[in-house]
Amino acid sequence: MKEILVPLAPADIIDQLAQLKLQLEAAADPDLMAHFSKQRRLLLSAIDRLLPGDDVQAAMHDLLYEVYADLQTLEGDMRDCEARSDFGPAFVALAQSYLATLQQRDALKSELARQLLQAGSHAGVS
């Protein structure tokens, strides 16, 4: 399959790295693991070339990873409720937690983008 190269904002690359880390940990199929691993290596190489190593960037990556892990757990728990046709208070609480976690993810992504933009403007990067 031919690769498609698209420009991404640095914050989007870090977000994708967090998602790929989680997918790589969850993958059981060796071919899928190899695919995720290759994508992650390519993105890590790009981000290392474009952005200086930064503790804030690493911390934001770790926070995004944790949020995606929480989302994955909540999705699984909601699917379990659905399989039991249990749409009562437990399901509602899970759905509310899921929505709150999505908001947390969006806030983290916005903060990461702001920090990277600010760091880029201080370094003369546009």
Q: Which residue in 14, 38, 13 sits closest to 24, CA to CA?
A: 38
The string of pLDDT tens digits covering residues 81-107 is 999 999 999 999 999 999 999 999 999
Under 8 Å between Cβ of 17 and 44: yes
Q: Please give the distance of CA 3 from its chain centroid, rounded to a whole number.
A: 21
The predicted model scores a pTM of: 0.82
CA atoms within 13 A on the CB side of 31: 0
What is the Cα Rg of the chain in Å? 17
Tens-digit pLDDT profile for residues 32-83: 999 999 999 988 888 888 776 667 778 888 999 999 999 999 999 999 999 9
For position 52, what pLDDT does the model report?
66
pLDDT-based confidence at residue 124 (cuts at 50, 70, 90): very low
